[in-house]
Structure 1
């Protein structure tokens, strides 16, 4: 694969930026959604002995990147929505996300509950008695939508507060939660609190983030990757994970590397496919857990060698992405678009974030 920065290189590998879009943001969202689906695939397959150790370790390490990067990208385009007032905000970001959160929580319950016991990990299994409480205790696999609605309301209420103050406050909150000093008694609430900083950074630090992306080089990407590995290794080997600030610094380094990598990938033709996924994150995010559960049910009784397990994780991840998009096309074709939007005249045809 060659690049086209000089006249000597062929022009068949560089992608054009979509008009009116920051293409690297789409790539960042595409990378994030792939990592989210991979995470769910690992969590479902691992109890059945279908995940090699290195893949499980990699998935754990990517915790510092996938949701913080997703939330950073989601905050980048918040300001125009806030400027349109409460009515637009409540329609496009609160009612919409809460509708999708509630609807797909029920869909997930309906798909997973009939599956054989043990198919799904505990986090994905809800009792019928828990369903009325999902507005108080966000579903662990759907919390992102809930958090976006909550962040949007908070952002509107705090829009006149200096961005620097919000960054400091959410940074301190992230530090305390990441070190285990501040606990909420519910994992989804802790994730919402811990990663709020990155949503605020996207909102108030857009120019800074864009400058970082614009200066991306392969050297900077490699430097960020090495630094992230070094911080992660030190936190494990020296047992520093619970030291205040260590987890937060690791998140910052990982997200910086993610922005640099997304900006670099956007300059290559291969980035087009990732960006295309980044523009379709909503149907993938909504449907991937039930689909991963169904694929896991088909594979749970198998006992493949370790070499084959690598392929299984990749196939379940890719299969869930492809099936999510196919399901979206099918439901839209039969005029069931309310699975992805507010029903009827309330529809807003959104993208996630």
Structure 2
């Protein structure tokens, strides 16, 4: 009889779909991207302290091609349910929910940031004039714009649901290319929202293609995709063509393909399990990471940090901050403050009596690349949806 060893547990393949029907690779992708978002925010704070080496700053900028495009792509994978629901249901469960969280946590973040030294602020909008904060109702806040965009995207997708897919992707693709090239320069956060609508709609319309890409992932393909994507980005920099319309979009698409291949591999092995688990609870991390990073930056402000530590400090801070946000979430739930992560009971959506429960359509069948590695659909969390949280 053979004996198992700890090393086997780390390298053994894991089922790609949980008993609840979650797509583990989607959770891995969300876990990967939310961690990159926290790393990005950590870099922004550390730059104010002069603790970010140029190489780290460059790598952080390069990862912008992956972070939010991949997050919006996987968010769009599960848009079928909201689009088939009534306007009342969709507006309540998507727009009201995301709008409520956006306003609440923008206020919480401001309350923390306004207490911190001004030299820690990488954006004057983080702790500006209180009256000016009302502007965030029209111009998405720097670190909360994802929620604003999700609400807006959901409404737009429902409005154009009868427009041919080619037209939807064509128009939003051109918009992404033009804004990405700097030919249109809206406010920074509006520019981001304009660039990434394409990936949200792509996730919805190309769900079968994306699932097949994930199912076709192999260790070799994922390993080759990483340097290939990096090389493509390097060529764009060397040739100075990033300002050419379509180049930034091409880099985003290449990074997203790479991200799907890598996420699929992470989901299939026990070593990637922490990212899968993190991907099921991304909303608490997204909402609370900035206040915690601000507090940590304040502590580091008077601590001598060896220059060499700057190469790993953003990742270390991201891991610590992620843990603190999840701990905060657990504590608040224990204190019966779940209303900080979802609509309060009186505002929560309720189906009319006797109405059937709507279910997401099952994904198109795809060929599994190996035993134990099929595809599925995402499921429960404490609060779910694209951010991994549901009521």
TM-score normalised according to structure 2 size: 0.85
Q: 1:15 corresponds to which residue?
A: 14
Which of residues 375, 380, 384 in structure 2 aligns to 1:351?
384
Query: Whole-Å Cα distance in 2 between the matches of residues 58 and 211 of structure 1?
Result: 29
Q: What is the correspondence of 1:198-277 to structure 2 with a 5 Å cutoff?
A: 198-277=199-278
Deviations, residues 307-340 of structure 1 (Å, cap 9, x unaligned): 2223432221111100100000011111111110
What is the deviation of 1:305? Answer: 1.8
- Contact 2:9 2:270 survives alignment (8 Å): no
Q: What is the correspondence of 1:1-353 to structure 2 with a 5 Å cutoff?
A: 13-16=12-15, 17-19=17-19, 20-122=21-123, 124-184=126-186, 186-347=187-348, 350-353=383-386
Secondary structure of the residue that 2:118 maps to in structure 1? coil
What is the deviation of 1:237? Answer: 1.3
Secondary structure of the residue that 1:134 maps to in structure 2? helix
Number of equivalences: 345
Query: Whole-Å Cα distance in 2 between the matches of residues 347 and 119 of structure 1?
Result: 37
Q: 1:4 corresponds to which residue?
A: none
Residues 73, 225 of structure 1: alpha-carbon distance in 2 compared, 3 angstrom cutoff: same
Residues 163, 350 of structure 1: alpha-carbon distance in 2 compared, 3 angstrom cutoff: farther
What is the deviation of 1:238? Answer: 1.5
Deviations, residues 164-187 of structure 1 (Å, cap 9, x unaligned): 221111111100000011221x10
- Contact 1:50 1:313 survives alignment (8 Å): no
What is the deviation of 1:352? Answer: 4.8
Query: Whole-Å Cα distance in 2 between the matches of residues 193 and 352 of structure 1?
Result: 22
Secondary structure of the residue that 1:118 maps to in structure 2? helix
Give unmatched runs, 5+ long, in structure 1: 1-8
What is the deviation of 1:11? Answer: 6.6
- Contact 2:99 2:147 survives alignment (8 Å): yes
Deviations, residues 100-136 of structure 1 (Å, cap 9, x unaligned): 0000000000001011221221253332122212111
- Contact 1:50 1:303 survives alignment (8 Å): no
In terms of fraction of residues, the more helix-rich structure is: 1
Deviations, residues 261-306 of structure 1 (Å, cap 9, x unaligned): 0011111002221011100000000000111111001001233222
Moved over 4 A (4+): 9-12
Give unmatched runs, 5+ long, in structure 2: 1-6, 350-381, 387-391
